[in-house]
Amino acid sequence: MYKRVRLKDTVEVPPRFLADVSPELVKRLLQDKLEGQMDGDVGSVVSVTKVHDIGDGAVLPNRPGVYYEAEFDAVTFDPQMQEVVDGEVVEVVNFGAFVGIGPVDGLLHVSQISDEYLAYDGENQQLASRDSNRVLSVGDAVRARIVTKSIDERNPRDSKIGLTAKQPGLGKHGWLEDERQRREAQAGD
Neighbours of 64 (CB within 10 A): 10
What H or E segment, with its residue span, contains residue 188? helix 173-188
Residue that is last in its domain, among 59, 77, 95: 77
Same domain assignment for residues 62 and 95: no
pLDDT digits (tens, 9 = 90+) for 59-111: 999 999 999 999 999 999 888 999 999 999 999 999 999 999 988 899 999 99
Same domain assignment for residues 176 and 126: yes
Task: Give the range of the structural domain holding residue 92, as residue numbers without chain letter.
Answer: 83-188
Which pLDDT does position 25 carry in this prediction?
Answer: 96
How many domains, in total, are found in the chain? 2
Residue that is last in its domain, among 77, 110, 128: 77
pLDDT digits (tens, 9 = 90+) for 116-148: 899 999 999 999 998 888 999 999 999 999 999
d(CA 70, CA 184): 56
- We report the CATH number of the domain holding residue 98 as 2.40.50.140
| Residues 6+ positions from 83 with CB-CB distance below 8 Å | 1, 145, 146
Same domain assignment for residues 112 and 140: yes
d(CA 128, CA 133): 7
Q: Which amino acid is at 189?
A: D
Same domain assignment for residues 93 and 181: yes
d(CA 123, CA 120): 9
Q: What is the DSSP letter of 154?
A: S
Neighbours of 45 (CB within 10 A): 24
d(CA 96, CA 141): 15
Name the β-bridge partners of 98. Answer: 91, 107
Which pLDDT does position 156 carry in this prediction?
Answer: 64
Q: Which amino acid is at 141?
A: A
- We report the CATH number of the domain holding residue 39 as 3.30.1490.120
Same domain assignment for residues 69 and 88: no
Query: How many residues would you count in the chain?
Result: 189
Which pLDDT does position 42 carry in this prediction?
Answer: 86
